[in-house]
Amino acid sequence: MSSTAADVVRLLIVTGRTLAVAESLTGGLVAAEITAVPGASKVFRGSVTAYATALKQELLGVDGDLLAARGAVDPQVAAQMAAGVRKALGADWGIATTGVAGPDPQDGQPVGTVYVAVDGPSGADSGSASGGKVEALRLNGDRAEIRRESVRSVLAVLLRELAGEQTGNERAQDTEQNGGF
């Protein structure tokens, strides 16, 4: 269990939010990292390991034309996976990983090309500025190292989003307590 995963679970509990995970190259490692944290059952809805490209469309609602045109290793695919798992599992936040861990390139992308995505609540009531975020990674190392770094990275992106949401909510509460609106 990482301290990042523990911080993610803690912030989800504090904000009363839930999480769902969609994984490809990480094959369940993100879900395992989250569920290793005591208390994760209060916030973790579940996960979908859509390793096969067709499952990304069938289970997560990723656009079939996008998959046909660009393959599974694409920033828009990652964003749609995160949004799709969030919707499919009824969670406030969805995160996703897709990429090439090796040993061979995939979809014209070199080993170490990874996209991680976060999709969450947006709007004034949530304290979050936007619904989705995707980060492109170019990772070095062997298959195991690329997968571990992908897990670390997606949790770090989620933690930043959750921390921003918490900061926004605290500012809103402070304004209300001080007579503002």
3-state class (DSSP) for residue 126: coil
**How much is the pLDDT for 180?**
42
Q: Is the peptide bond before 103 cis (omega within 30 degrees of 0)?
A: yes
Q: What is the pLDDT along the chain (181 residues), one digit of tens a residue?
A: 679 999 999 999 999 999 999 999 999 999 999 999 999 999 999 999 999 999 999 999 999 999 999 999 999 999 999 999 999 999 999 999 999 999 999 989 999 999 999 999 975 454 444 578 999 999 999 999 999 999 999 999 999 999 987 765 544 444 444 444 3
CB count within 10 Å of CB 171 equals 12
**How much is the pLDDT for 122?**
73
Buried b (16+ CB within 10 A) or exposed e, 64-100: eebbeebbbbbebbbbbbbbbbbebbebbbbbbbbbb
